[in-house]
Amino acid sequence: MILDRTMLTDSVLIVDDDIEALGEMVDALQDYGLEVHAASNGDTALKLANERRPEFILLDYLLHGTTGLELASAIRKFLPEVQIILISGYENLNALLTPLNVGAVAVLQKPLSIDSIARFIGNKLDNKNQQLKLLGY
């Protein structure tokens, strides 16, 4: 596998139309030292994903005017390597198993454990950085 260092940045894009929850997630992940970008709608999410090229996207399943699945499919067209984590307030996550078909690395139920998300992202970034070192980057 060839990794292009210019393709993705070690940042996180959070997409949620619940402004209060969005702000809390941004603040919490920034406290872990992550570069975090936020969007409260699909159009802003597409723009930020294209401009910032995040490594991870925390994507709410149900957004005003679109779904997380539709947005994930659109983002994958220009950012196929991004790691998408779908988040949902639905209690029955079995109905959300289809998100795995769009390449989501996880489907998490709200309320979220920011500690768990930060550890998950940190581990993924550590693994990526180790792989880059092995490849001589």
Domains of the chain (ranges plus CATH)? 9-134 (3.40.50.2300)
Note the pLDDT tens digit of each residue in 55-102.
999 999 889 999 888 999 999 999 998 999 888 877 766 565 565 666
What pLDDT was estimated at residue 94?
58
Provide the whole-model pTM. Answer: 0.81
Phi, then psi, of 20 in degrees rounded to 5: -65, -50
What pLDDT was estimated at residue 2?
37
